[in-house]
Amino acid sequence: MWTKEFLQQVIQEQMGDYLLLTASNRQPSSYDRIGLDKNGKVMLPPENPSYALRRIFLSKEETNSYYYGYCNEGLWPLSHVAYERPNFLASDWKAYEKANEKFAQAILDEVGDRKAFVWVQDFHLILVAKYLKEAGASNIITSLFWHIPWPNPEIFRICPQKKEILAGMLAYDLLGFQIRYHGDNFLQAVDLEMESRIDRERTSVFFQNHETLIRPFPISVDFQSISDHTAVPEVQARGQKIREDFLLQDKKILVGIDRIDYTKGIADKFRAFDRLLEKHPEYREKVVLFQLGQVSRIHIPRYKEINDDLNALVEEINWKHSQGSWMPIIFTRAYMSYEDILALYRTADVCLVSSLHDGMNLVAKEYVATRSDGDGVLVLSQFTGASRELADAVLINPFDTESFADGLETALSMPAEEREKRMKKMREIVTTNNIYRWAGKVLSQLLKFEFQEV
């Protein structure tokens, strides 16, 4: 089984003198210019430095056009089937190109003439390999992991820069997707839009005398660490304190933890809970839906509207069903530490993941990892990548309020023996398919590549 120690051993023994570099739009720790050296770097983690973080700074204008513009108002809605129209501006694309070029130049500066594996993360950095290739960096092998869904060809073809995006993707040596279905969608888009040759047996694409391998690599969590961490009495005490702080001691808790985004189906979750209370009034004053909403992308007007709409919906449902001091929905944006979130998972009777479209969704896997007590029920949208692995969850269609409400009732009324059986199966899956297996499979695939002669 893949563990942290085994992954480190593979890197040390098989990667030898090759440099391993990861490029991401988001940094692993919060550092501004003050904490960096003259080269824009800092050694991490602070308590035991083992790798260098190099920050790339963008101007406010670049961030607005590259990140908030092309990435989050263009590529994000394009890739998620949540019926939100993408917005593509030529100026945003120019900013996207410029930001990617900055990342590529930083990589070239770091690597020099050494042989290196460069592992690029997500839709923010599609063009990095293209710029590395144009610089003649034959000493670099590149991989991109696409964390979000890849849209079907009919949706993808509306993008004005579709050919540039596909050409950028095909400059990588290895493309990883969460599930095979997303990889198949990508291949269909290539087949329709590009002059290329697809090798179905090797699952690869030949474009401009370069081969790109297409592989599914389902991402996961550090199962053992989460499971061990939440099994201790201190975490269980945290969970009890959360119950006391929110006056939930004798209530069944349905928990939802989501970034506030139209793809997460939070409103659909609230409407299904509303319908549950209509169909089963016996649950009134006995259950509470505790929704933690993490605010994001507030500079985009649509996200401000989502916040307002959710507030109005919660107020309407609580007014409709509340009795005495009991309110059916607690919707909080208050900061909770990761330890408190794990404690909340552990104390909740049901976890609700209602994404309208999600590449994977790690909330589902985190919840399973916390339940070393063998209890708890996961209610999971069938439109998440996680649903392919966690088939013993109560699978729901978030677009169908009626059946979603029935799924909630199934979860709340499930006998203890059935809960334990389902949770045991899901924990076995997440134990095996953990974060180290994900990373190990990607790196193992990279090790099969041969560097070209410079």
Q: Which pair of structure tokens corresponds to residue 353?
A: 């993941």
- pLDDT for 256 equals 98
- Give the Cα separation of 178 and 316 in Å (integer): 37
- pLDDT for 301 equals 86
Q: Which pair of structure tokens corresponds to residue 382?
A: 């069938």
Mean pLDDT across the chain: 95
Q: If pLDDT is split at 50, 70 and 90, which confidence band does 31 have?
A: low
Q: If pLDDT is split at 50, 70 and 90, which confidence band does 341 have?
A: very high
CB burial of residue 149 (10 Å; 0-12, 13-18, 19+): buried
Unique residue bearing structure tokens 């297409």: 214
Q: Among 306, 361, 299, which residue's Cα sits nearest to residue 71?
A: 299
pLDDT digits (tens, 9 = 90+) for 100-149: 999 999 999 999 999 999 999 999 999 999 999 999 999 999 999 999 99
Per-residue pLDDT, averaged over 411-417, amounts to: 98
Instruction: Indicate if the alpha-carbon torsion angle 234, 239, 245, 248 is positive or negative.
Output: negative
Share of the chain above pLDDT 90, in %: 87
Domains along the sequence of the chain with CATH: 4-220+436-446 (3.40.50.2000), 223-432 (3.40.50.2000)
pLDDT digits (tens, 9 = 90+) for 54-101: 999 999 999 999 999 999 999 999 999 999 999 999 999 999 999 999
8 Å CB contact between 149 and 187: no
8 Å CB contact between 380 and 240: no
* Predicted model pTM: 0.94
Least confident segment among 42-51, 84-93, 358-367: 42-51
- pLDDT for 452 equals 65
- Residues 218-252 as b/e (b if ≥16 CB within 10 A, e otherwise) read bbbbbbbebbebbeeeebeebbeebbeeeebeebe
Q: If pLDDT is split at 50, 70 and 90, which confidence band does 453 have?
A: low
Q: Among 96, 141, 140, which residue's Cα sits nearest to residue 122?
A: 96
Sheet-wide strand order for 174-177: 19-23, 116-121, 140-146, 174-177, 210-216, 204-207, 197-199
Instruction: Indicate if the alpha-carbon torsion angle 131, 136, 138, 139 is positive or negative.
Output: negative
Judged against a pLDDT cut of 90, whether residue 186 lies above it is answered with: yes
Q: If pLDDT is split at 50, 70 and 90, which confidence band does 454 have?
A: very low
8 Å CB contact between 143 and 120: yes
* Distance (Å) of CA 357 to CA 69, 85, 217: 21, 15, 18
- Determine if the peptide bond prior to 281 is cis (ω within 30°): no
CB burial of residue 65 (10 Å; 0-12, 13-18, 19+): buried
What secondary structure, in 3-state letters, does 142-211 show?
EEEEECCCCCCHHHHCCCCCHHHHHHHHCCCCEEEECCHHHHHHHHHHHHHHCCCEEECCCCEEEECCEE
Q: Which pair of structure tokens corresponds to residue 451?
A: 């560097």
pLDDT digits (tens, 9 = 90+) for 304-326: 899 999 999 999 999 999 998 99
Unique residue bearing structure tokens 């209610």: 379
pLDDT digits (tens, 9 = 90+) for 271-307: 999 999 999 999 999 999 999 998 888 888 888 899 9
281 DSSP assignment: G
- pLDDT for 249 equals 85
8 Å CB contact between 242 and 387: no
Mutual angle of helices 362-370 and 416-432, in 10-degree steps: 110
